[in-house]
Structures are given as structure tokens and as C-alpha cells.
Amino acid sequence: MGLHEKTKSFFNNRWLVFVASMWVQSCSGLGYLFGSISPVIKKSMGYNQRQIAMLGVAKDIGDAIGFIPGSLCEIAPIWVVLFIGAVQNFVGYGLVWLTTTHTLPELPLWVLCVCIFVGTNGETYFNTGALVSGVQNFPKNRGPVVGILKGFAGLSGAILTQVYTIFNFPDQSSIIFLVAVGPTIVILSVMFMVRPVGGHRQVRESDDTSFVFLYSVCLILAAYLLGILILQDLIVLNQITVTLLTVGLLILVLLPIAIPVFLVFFSENLPEERLLLNEDEKKDGNEMIMSEMEDEKTSEVDLLSAYERQKRISHLQARLVQAAADGAVRVKRRKKGPRRGEDFTLMQALVKADFLLMFFSLVLASGSGLTIIDNLGQMCQSLGYENPHIFVSMISIWNFLGRVGGGYVSEVIVRKYAYPRPVAMGVVQVVMAGSLFYYAIGAPGAIYIVSVVIGLCYGAHWAIFPSTASELFGLKSFGALYNCLALASPTGSLIFSGVIASGIYDYEAKKQMTINHRIFQDNEELTCYGTICYSITCGILSALCVIAVALSVTVVYRTKGVYAQLYGTSRT
């Protein structure tokens, strides 16, 4: 291949699309930066904590509602979805920045809520575009792809915060400026790369090695970020050291581009029609391919040369992978609608028991995890820790590892054993229930256990359920299905955190004031001390996670046959 052909092949390589999607996702977790943005808004605008809480609600709603990008992916190119998200991000947070710097006249609180909603809602466009292109280009590796992409979304807050430190801005409001401008520049730079490129025709035997390389980069990135956080907490770093550490972080983020560069420019380039399945898939599909050959066999087939016969087999293999990419399960279609494994619309999925079971399982388990994450700072304060941001950073890093690991483990489950992917979700929820119960009984070191385990398990949910939805309900409406299921987590948190956790916390705080013979004033901020502040809440959340396990097990039982048909021949 000449340089022109290689360059064209490079820009149509599914690994380049995947890497570009990773960069998109590294800007898709702006909601995690609200803890850094809200104090700036509070100080600049003179807001009280209740007003800041209203902005937080607007942020959560904006981060949860993604029906528009989900539906848009079905009728418009991915770059259109990403562009709209970039515009929303720039306009929403740009107006917040102009307001906090008093460049614009002071806006009413409700207007700022709208701005926060619009800006944060841009994330849903980034998430949807990256995930839809990812699962379509890697239909046989959905678990790892979703896990890695969602992992980078979880790390985005830490990455942007570290980038902010190298500019040494004179005022704190500049972090809002970075949130408005930084992701917009990144998205506009790569939005034309993120698209379906017929990835099912680009399967290589080296794909496993490429995923191992990506997992290694993810682990190194997580360890590097954790090391930076610990170092910055222990000693005061000068600006040069901070800049060098941030440059090292950016190099790690950019490092995955080496995969498509190597595959296109430094490895043997096979014609597209001869990019065969990996060894396992070739062996597993051999009988089906030979059957297809027999069905189409004519007297001329026996006269074909060895090369032509191999070309015919390669063509049939590509057709089989395309069928798998479309979620095909060879069953007769009923008049009442598609079967599991075929393409569902959102409305068709909403009336299916499997979809509803998954949704409520996520409400209970993922909602419980988000409740702990939202209240972790307050939990640390109640236990007497002066630096809760260390635990907040820890849970972010483990959240990232949970997303990456959840995708990998769930893929092993379906590939090696042909078990339904929700098995992994059930196991994760059992572990969550155990860690929450450990805190509820006031066991020693419980805050460390909760920070690690909840981070891992909450993150794992975000790798497992999108892959499961794409397998059971197809890829055609995946964007809409994903965004509908994503509503489960904030729905649960709204109830568990806004009603249960806060109600019990205030009750225990007032009880402690009564014991100390103090009278509570209406405008006084309540403060609770001790394990009791959240032990009852954790006990309730633990019980809810057990119910979630039962729902996940029900999904496993109902979908055993589907996964046996999809992956049964892949057992080793």
C-alpha cells in the first residue's frame, strides 16, 4: 500500500475511532467537577447552601436526560450529535463564567440553573456519540469497549483539574472558563473521527493484544493519577513540577494513538475482505461457514482455485460477523414484535420485563452507589476526617478501575462460559451490599472499605448494563436505550439521598443537640458526628442492593437461552 492508501486506511481504522472516542469521553464527566465549581459560584454570587443545592439538582437533571441525543443518533451522523453537545457545553458554562466574573449583569438563580442544565446536558451528547460508535465498530468486544470508554468519562474530572493547575490562573473562576472552553476544543477537533466505519470487517488476530495494551495504559493512568494526588497532598509542589506531572498525564492519555498508527503503518496490511476473524471465532464458526458453502454450492465451486475459495469463505465470515453485529439470533420473528437479541425501539423495550427488571435493579443498586458518592464528604466529616477530598479522589480512581474491570470481567463471563452478562451485575451488587452492611455495623476502617468497594462496584455498573442492553435489545436504538437506563442512577439517588440519607442525618443531628441541651434554630446548619449519622442509611441501602441482586438474577434466568445462542459456540 502507498502512503495515500495507508493514510486513507488510517482515518477509516476502527481503532482510531475508538481512541478518538476515548478522548471525547475524557471530557464527558464535567458533572464530577461540580464540587470544584460550586464554591466559586457560592463566593462570587453570595449564594447560601440551599441555592447551591438547587444548582446541583439542575446539574444532575442535565446529566441524566439524554433522550434527544439518543434519538438523534438514529437519524443523524455522530459528528452532529457531538457538535450540538459542544455548543451546549460552551454556551451553558460560558454564561456561568461570564456571570461569576461579573462581565454580565447578575443573572437570577433560575437562569443560572438553566445554564448549568444546558452545559451539563452536553455530556449526554458526548457519551452517546462515543458509546454508539464504539459498540457498532466493536460488536464482538462490547464489554471492554464500553468499560474503557466509561472509565475515561469517570476520570475526566481528575484530568481537567490537573490540566487547570498548569495554567496558574489568577482567580478561581477560571476553572469554569476551562470547563467551558477545554472540552469544546477537544470535541471540535475529533468529532469527524468518531463514527461507524464498518468495524466488523476489521477484525484482526492482534485485537486481543491491542486491548491488553489499552488495559495496561488504563492501569498506569489510574496509578499515576493516584500518585499525583497523594504527592500534592503530602508536599507543596512548585509550578515546574506540576507542569511536568501534567505533561506526563497528557502523554498517557494520548498514548493509545500508537495502536492505529502501528496497525496501519508498521504491520502487514491485508486487503479488507481478508481481515478474518480471530482464531477462536474461525474455529467456532467453521461448521456454520461450511454449511453456508454447502447451501450455496454449485458445480462451479469445486472448480475454484484455492485463493478464490478462501476469498469466498472470507466473504461469508464477514457476513456472519455482520449478523452478530446486528445482534442476530436465528429465531423466527413473531408478529407481535422483535425477540431478544434483535433490534428494539425504545417503546418496544419499555414494555419488556427484562428491560424493566434491569432498570429497577439499577435504581436500587446504582442509585445506592451514587448516594454514597454524593454524601462521602459528609460521611468523612461525621467521622472526624479533616481532609475528605482524599477519599473523594480515591473513590473516583476506583470508579475508573471498576468501569474498566467490569467490562473485562463481564466479557470473560459471556465469552468463556456463555453465561448471561447480568451475572456480573448480580455479583457486583452482592459485594456492594456486603460493604454497606460492613459500614452499618460500625466495623473498623469501614470508610476505607466503602470508598474502594463502592467506587469499584458503582463503576462496574456503567460498563455492564450498556453492553447488556445492546445484546438483548440490539444496536439500532442503542443510544435511546442507554440514556433511558442511565436515568435509573439519579432516580435512585434522588430518593435515597434526598429523602432517606438527609432525613436520617438531620434526625440524628437534632437528637445529638437535644442530648447536649441545645435548642435548634431554623436557620442553623445541622451537623452530625459519629458512625450513627450514616449507619442506618447504609443498612437500608444494603437491603436495597440485596433486592437488586434478586432482580438481576431474574434477568439472568430469563436470558440464559439468548446468551447461549449468541455466545454458546464461543466456549473454549
> According to the model, what pLDDT value does residue 185 have?
93
Q: For 479-524, write each residue's pLDDT tens digit.
A: 888 888 888 888 888 888 878 888 888 888 888 877 766 655 555 5
Contact (Cβ atoms closer than 8 angstroms) between residue 221 and residue 152:
no
Supply angle C-alpha 158, 28, 215, rounded to 5. Answer: 65
Q: Which range has highest mean pLDDT (178-187, 237-246, 290-299, 471-480)? A: 178-187
Q: How large is the average pLDDT for residues 193-212?
A: 83
> According to the model, what pLDDT value does residue 288 have?
39
| 191 Cβ neighbours under 8 A, 6+ residues apart | 24, 78, 79, 82, 83, 86, 129
| Calpha distance 550→562 (Å, rounded) | 20
Please provide residue 298's backbone torsions phi and psi, each rounded to the nearest 5 degrees: -125, 175
> According to the model, what pLDDT value does residue 357 have?
94
| Calpha distance 359→271 (Å, rounded) | 43
Cβ neighbourhood burial of 187 (10 Å; 0-12, 13-18, 19+): buried
Cβ neighbourhood burial of 415 (10 Å; 0-12, 13-18, 19+): middle
Radius of gyration of the chain (CA): 25
Q: For 318-341, write each residue's pLDDT tens digit.
A: 555 555 555 444 444 444 677 877
**Four-residue CA torsion sign, 123, 126, 132, 134:** negative
pTM, to two decimals: 0.76
Q: For 9-40, write each residue's pLDDT tens digit.
A: 888 889 999 999 999 998 887 777 776 787 78
Q: What is the dihedral of CA 397, 403, 404, 409, to 10 degrees?
A: 130
* All three cell numbers of 280: 477462536
Separation in Å, CA 268 to CA 138, 206, 556: 21, 11, 42
pLDDT over 90, % of the chain: 25
Q: For 441-466, write each residue's pLDDT tens digit.
A: 988 888 889 988 998 999 899 889 88
| Calpha distance 511→538 (Å, rounded) | 19
Separation in Å, CA 138 to CA 14, 131, 249, 456: 8, 10, 27, 24
> According to the model, what pLDDT value does residue 343 have?
83
Q: Which range has highest mean pLDDT (141-145, 200-204, 312-316, 322-326)? A: 141-145
> According to the model, what pLDDT value does residue 440 have?
92
Q: For 372-418, write each residue's pLDDT tens digit.
A: 887 887 788 888 876 666 777 777 788 888 888 888 888 888 888 88
> According to the model, what pLDDT value does residue 314 have?
59
168: left (phi over 0), alpha (psi -120 to 50) or beta: left
